Structure 1
Amino acid sequence: MASVLYSPAIDVIASAGRLVLSPFLTGPLLLSATYYPETVRQIVSSVAKHLPEQLGVLLSSVPQSSAITALRVLVALGLIRTVNGALNTIASNSWRLGAAKGWNWSNEIAVVTGGSSGIGKGIVERLVALGVRVAVFDIQDLPKEMQGDARIRFFHCDVTSSESVAAAADAVRRELGHPSILVNNAGIAKPMPILKTSEEYLRRIFGVNVMSLWFTTQQFLPRMIQLDKGHIVTVASIASFVALATAADYSATKAGALAFHESLASEIKHQYKAPSVLTSVIHPNFVKTPLLDDFSGRLERAGVRLLTSDRIADEVVAQIKSKRGGQLVIPSSATGISAIRGWPTWLQELLRDAVAKGAVKP
């Protein structure tokens, strides 16, 4: 049942839904059925002959009026879906229709926290391939394959310490220049029941996953506001919406990351009047990284399909390349989970029960 969050079947259903609700498909079909009914009837009869007998009979027996009504409904739903998507994008970019201007990747500087491994490493590699110079903030050294790249600079930094972040930020500005891209990717997780979570670990996870967002943003946002140009990316989680059993601390920090992103976007637009400073928040589903080593096996046995770090890195950098801000749920087939707080309580509880079965040790 935990596969309700992400499974191959859900991906297939979501893909089929996108196809059926595409006005580029249903629109021409509606016009054809309305103005060329005889031609459509002949095509349907020809197709029916190549289908299993019962399906062919069913297809041939659908009244034309019913087919046209169904197509009208699908066209209307598809148009609503398309307009809604466009409005989402525009609203996330200070109601701007086009992409932000002034970006030249070979001149841009990015800071990526937690860039020495996992998702962060993938983001660094893709930004470098784009021509961006990247400063990595991490307590882990760069992997050997990244150490010889002139476009990557490593700065030892404990993101839970404002002093450490300030020192690293000063070094970046001194050695590289002012960053125009900040990817707040650093995160930790360790599945543990509430009653067994120590104060030391609580302070650590909130420091890495939440407080660091303030420390890095306070260092780099002022220059972005001054130039009215920049992009701050916050890597949150599907746990921003779904509280996970044995991971109350992680869920709370990711809900906090979402709140941070939303407040930041609003402040940039209304308090600082810098509409071209972009903000994005990323909500990956379960990702196969060292963070999940303790319970990835349980999740997979429960039917959850784990994403790869490369998949997330691809989508994060694609978002940066788009020169637009926004909110991404990965995979997109899980986007509906973001509405869970508006679901009836019983339906929310069924989802949390299903997820808990994959997270709690038997």
Structure 2
Amino acid sequence: MIRPPRQVSIPPPLSIGLGALACIGLLYKSNSYLSRRALNSPEEKDTWDWDKEIVVVTGGSSGIGAAIVKLFAEQGIKTINLDLCRPHPDAQTENAFFYQVDLTNVEHINKIADRIRSEHGHPTVLINNAGIQWNKPILELPRDKIHATFEVNIISNFLLVKEFLPAMVSNNHGHVVTVASLASFTTRAVNVDYACTKSAALAFHEGLGQELRHIYRAPGVRTTIIHPGWVKTPLIKKLMQSGALRGHLLEPEEVAEAILKQLRSAFGAQVFLPSNFWILSLVRGAPSWIQERIRNLLTTSRGYDHN
């Protein structure tokens, strides 16, 4: 006699939990799809030939920039480093090129951009990565340092886009990457000038995407913004030595790999590193008492409470 298969019943709490997980998974996939569609219209992938693409990265002699230059050059991608400081001799490889440039000097930027176009052709990828940070209270910041922060961290983004975007628009092919920070959403004491420039970088990224779509009619030129948390770079060397930083610190190579992965996808995006830190983007919409508690926590956890 053949017996019917035994029916296995799933306890109600477990059934509800599995259903909730399935819904969360569906919402996550739907959200990712809708975000990609919104940031990439039309969604069809452009054709990228990485043997012919030309990447310009600012601040490529140290930190995240140096990791980008090294990784991209190792992948056979022609990568041009724009920095005031010369890279370490070991960083000079077959596909990496260095041009010394003062990003606070408009005439110097124009001159170097002309050389790049003449010697290499029109860049198809611009990675605005250069950044400086002083970690000083507002009243202790000299005027020249304030100006330098804005000129390097945000004004140079405008100047370099003005140099290299026209050719991308003309060909409807290119990618502009803006390296911002989680400081785009959360400001703490002793970091005000830096956070101001990173909030501006986010606005720059958003507005550039709008202009590419509606003004220049070049949707094939993609835009990506990267929001890393704390990264082991010279910018936070003193904080690391003080022991004030807790939790996971990103390696520059992690950021470089995330940028390369996004470029190879041929889509633009907003990328948070670590990925679960996207939740900090909600801070601006939270009630004021929540916002202030988060800012207070960020400030005191870094040892800046003088009370």
TM-score band, normalised by the shorter chain? over 0.9
Structure 2 counterpart of 1:174, from 97, 118, 126: 118
C-alpha deviation, 1:37, in angstroms? 8.1
- Normalising by the residue count of structure 2, what TM-score does the alignment of the two structures yield? 0.93
Which runs of structure 2 are paired with 1:34-73 in the superposition (5 Å)?
38-39=7-8, 64-73=11-20
Q: Which amino acid is 1:105 matched to? A: W
Structure whose alpha-carbon radius of gyration is higher: 1
Q: Which amino acid is 2:53 matched to? A: E
Contact 1:113 1:136 (C-alpha < 8 Å) held by counterparts: yes
Aligned residue number for residue 157 of structure 1:
101
Over 6 Å off, 4+ runs: none
C-alpha deviation, 1:128, in angstroms? 1.4
C-alpha deviation, 1:188, in angstroms? 0.5
CA distance in 1, matches of 2:301, 2:15: 44
CA distance in 2, matches of 1:339, 1:163: 40
Q: Which amino acid is 1:221 matched to? A: L
C-alpha deviation, 1:133, in angstroms? 0.8
C-alpha deviation, 1:114, in angstroms? 0.5
Aligned residue number for residue 341 of structure 1:
284
Q: Which amino acid is 1:144 matched to? A: P
CA distance in 2, matches of 1:223, 1:95: 20
CA distance in 2, matches of 1:95, 1:337: 29
Q: Which amino acid is 1:81 matched to? A: Y
How many pairs align? Answer: 301
2:200 matched to 1:256? yes
Give 3-state SS (helix, strand or coil) of 2:224's partner.
strand
Structure 2 counterpart of 1:137, from 79, 82, 87: 82
RMSD: 1.6
- Normalising by the residue count of structure 1, what TM-score does the alignment of the two structures yield? 0.80
Superposed CA offset, 1:315-362 (max 9, x none): 111111111101001000111001111112111111111110133446
Q: Which amino acid is 1:80 matched to? A: L
CA distance in 2, matches of 1:188, 1:282: 16
Aligned residue number for residue 332 of structure 1:
275
2:149 matched to 1:205? yes
Stretches of structure 1 that go unaligned for 5 or more consecutive residues are: 1-35, 42-63
CA distance in 2, matches of 1:361, 1:252: 19
Contact 1:238 1:285 (C-alpha < 8 Å) held by counterparts: yes
CA distance in 2, matches of 1:111, 1:65: 57
Aligned residue number for residue 69 of structure 2:
124
Which runs of structure 2 are paired with 1:1-362 in the superposition (5 Å)?
38-39=7-8, 64-96=11-43, 98=44, 100-147=45-92, 149-298=93-242, 300-301=243-244, 303-361=246-304
Stretches of structure 2 that go unaligned for 5 or more consecutive residues are: none
CA distance in 1, matches of 2:23, 2:226: 30
Contact 1:229 1:276 (C-alpha < 8 Å) held by counterparts: yes
C-alpha deviation, 1:95, in angstroms? 4.8
CA distance in 2, matches of 1:226, 1:138: 27
Contact 1:114 1:120 (C-alpha < 8 Å) held by counterparts: yes
Give 3-state SS (helix, strand or coil) of 1:312's partner.
helix
C-alpha deviation, 1:89, in angstroms? 1.4
CA distance in 2, matches of 1:284, 1:128: 22
C-alpha deviation, 1:308, in angstroms? 1.2
C-alpha deviation, 1:40, in angstroms? 5.9
Give 3-state SS (helix, strand or coil) of 2:277's partner.
helix
Q: 1:103 to 1:354 in 2, by over 3 A?
A: same
Contact 2:244 2:303 (C-alpha < 8 Å) held by counterparts: no
Superposed CA offset, 1:81-131 (max 9, x none): 2101111112111251x4x32210010111110111110011111211222
Contact 2:82 2:99 (C-alpha < 8 Å) held by counterparts: yes
Give the % identical residues.
Answer: 37
From the two aligned structures, give the one with the greater helix fraction: 1
Aligned residue number for residue 48 of structure 1:
none
C-alpha deviation, 1:38, in angstroms? 3.5
Contact 2:124 2:175 (C-alpha < 8 Å) held by counterparts: yes
CA distance in 2, matches of 1:90, 1:144: 43
Contact 1:245 1:360 (C-alpha < 8 Å) held by counterparts: no
Contact 1:191 1:294 (C-alpha < 8 Å) held by counterparts: no
